[in-house]
Structure 1
Amino acid sequence: MAIMVKDLPVDERPRERLLFSGAAALSNTELLAVLLRTGTREKSVLHIAEEVLAHYKDRGLEAIVHMPPAELAAVKGVGKAKAATVLAAVELGRRLSMKAAEHIVVVHDPEDAAHFALPRFRFEQREHFAVMLLDTKNHILGMPDVSVGSLQASVVHPREVFRAAIDYAAAAMILFHNHPSGDPTPSREDIAVTQRLVKAGKIMDIPVLDHIILGRECFLSLKEKGMLS
């Protein structure tokens, strides 16, 4: 017979623990259980939450960000209404993380730039190449996508990169792209593309200040690694 949440001591129930100790005190399973709210006759809500997370263990928790509603709803014990609640909470969290980055309006170092960009690209499943466009005082003018590629690569042409810079009347730029694998280690092609764009920037008088490669929770600055030229 399954142990239901109501059979647990009050201070061990996820919702009560959240209210008493805060959301940060809960595990991923418990947080998901709070969103799912109820289980079934056969399974507790904690058991269903565990099954949802186990279903996506190969892709990690971030797989939920891109999960089609029908796929989540198909998990026994979830259904359409609970799937909608979970995916709405995930999207709200994603938007809050992006909002938190908006206070960075001036770039002083690669960390500032990466913290601005990470919330936007952290969970992307394809490689995106973007340019952060700066004015003469390193205020961020914008960060448009230049190219969206496959799971492993994006195709970048200098013409598209500098067209964006001219459209924004940028004085300088920082290149960005994400590695969906989560590992920001640059490939030989990454370095070659960077060097080609640095040379083009000198000709256009719009310097490329850095190329930052984004993982899921980390980043790598080619400038800091001495790979910019």
Structure 2
Amino acid sequence: MTYSLRIADIPLSERPRERLFSFGAKNLATAELIAILLATGQGKGKLSAVGLGQYILQELSKYKREPLDVLREISPQELMEIPGIGPAKATTILAAVELGKRAFLLRPSERMLIDSPDAAASALGHDLMWQNQERFAVVLLDVKNQLIGTKVITVGTATETLVHPREIFREVIKQGATKLIIGHNHPSGNLEPSQDDIYLTEQLLQGAQYLDIPLLDHLILGNGNHQSLRQITPLWTQYPQKE
């Protein structure tokens, strides 16, 4: 694709809006999503909306951070320093970013069914996502896997948090929960579990067996993504839970 072309000059099947309808928003490149918000590029003979979207990402990467991370915090005035971005485009982009943050951080209602890692991550997102310190939290569930509530157990440093199994199960018993999911965040955005994460999960799974309070999963969250230890480790096979 030549980014100096007008959107109208791009084959219909390759235009961002048409691709969104055909393949869904999650399958579009970031520059294409921005292009849909921009609607137009820099003008005749210059960058198309897609090209301008790519150029914005390129300019934001000069902050030596992930461009979308910068976009979450940038001001309209800073965004308007990029050629081709005026008040209308800047406010449209930042309004979309803010709407996305609010939708992601919206707390699920109590008694919502938590039946997948995605649902659990949604419940934990408000407390854990995009934090600059590690936090450890628990999702409290009833016998039907419905949400009773969430609770942050500990807050650590920028790189680690400390939690003891007794603190977790004390809160579970206090709230009358019969099942739980645990989660913590990695401020770096790296979702790979550490050896400490694995060891703690083993301890909790054994404790859950003893107390007959099933531990359904352990999630790691960071920078808008999440990882389920149940899906990527054999721990739940080694320490089966009565669900």
Name the aligned partner's letter for residue 5 of structure 1. Answer: R
The equivalent of 2:200 in structure 1 is 193
SS in 2 for 1:161: helix
CA distance in 2: counterparts of 1:136 and 1:180, whole angstroms: 32
Task: Name which of structure 1's ranges 19-28 and 72-81 shifts more when overlaid on structure 2.
Answer: 19-28
The equivalent of 2:140 in structure 1 is 133
- Taking a change above 3 Å as real, the CA distance of residues 67 and 187 of structure 1, as seen in their structure-2 partners, is same
CA distance in 2: counterparts of 1:195 and 1:118, whole angstroms: 20
**Contact residue 210 and residue 228 of structure 1 kept, 8 A:** no
The equivalent of 1:170 in structure 2 is 177
How many Å apart are 1:131 and its aligned residue? 0.4
Spell out, residue by residue over 1:48-85, the C-alpha distance to the aligned partner (whole angstroms, 9 max, x if none).
21112234567556536633335544433324542332
How many Å apart are 1:142 and its aligned residue? 1.4
Per the normalisation by structure 1, the TM-score is: 0.67
Map residues 6-45 of structure 1 onto 2, 5 A cutoff.
8=9, 11=12, 14=15, 17=18, 24=25, 27-41=29-43, 43-45=47-49
The equivalent of 1:5 in structure 2 is 6
How many Å apart are 1:35 and its aligned residue? 0.7
**Contact residue 217 and residue 228 of structure 2 kept, 8 A:** no
- Taking a change above 3 Å as real, the CA distance of residues 213 and 9 of structure 1, as seen in their structure-2 partners, is closer
CA distance in 2: counterparts of 1:228 and 1:148, whole angstroms: 29
Task: Name which of structure 1's ranges 44-53 and 120-129 shifts more when overlaid on structure 2.
Answer: 120-129
How many Å apart are 1:140 and its aligned residue? 1.8
Give the counterpart of 1:49 among 50, 53, 61. 53
**Contact residue 38 and residue 93 of structure 2 kept, 8 A:** yes
Unaligned runs of 5+ in 2: none
How many Å apart are 1:143 and its aligned residue? 2.2
Identity percentage of aligned residues: 32
Spell out, residue by residue over 1:156-201, the C-alpha distance to the aligned partner (whole angstroms, 9 max, x if none).
3556535643553223322112334555433222234345555766
The equivalent of 1:89 in structure 2 is 96
CA distance in 2: counterparts of 1:195 and 1:20, whole angstroms: 44
Per the normalisation by structure 2, the TM-score is: 0.64
The equivalent of 1:224 in structure 2 is 236
Name the aligned partner's letter for residue 118 of structure 2. Answer: H
Give the counterpart of 1:117 among 111, 117, 120. 120
How many residue pairs get matched?
Answer: 222
Give the counterpart of 2:168 among 161, 172, 179. 161
How many Å apart are 1:141 and its aligned residue? 0.8
The equivalent of 1:144 in structure 2 is 151
SS in 2 for 1:131: strand
- Taking a change above 3 Å as real, the CA distance of residues 192 and 6 of structure 1, as seen in their structure-2 partners, is closer
Could you say what the CA RMSD is over the residues aligned between the two structures, in angstroms?
4.4
Name the aligned partner's letter for residue 220 of structure 1. Answer: L
SS in 2 for 1:143: strand
Task: Name which of structure 1's ranges 65-74 and 29-38 shifts more when overlaid on structure 2.
Answer: 65-74
How many Å apart are 1:32 and its aligned residue? 0.8
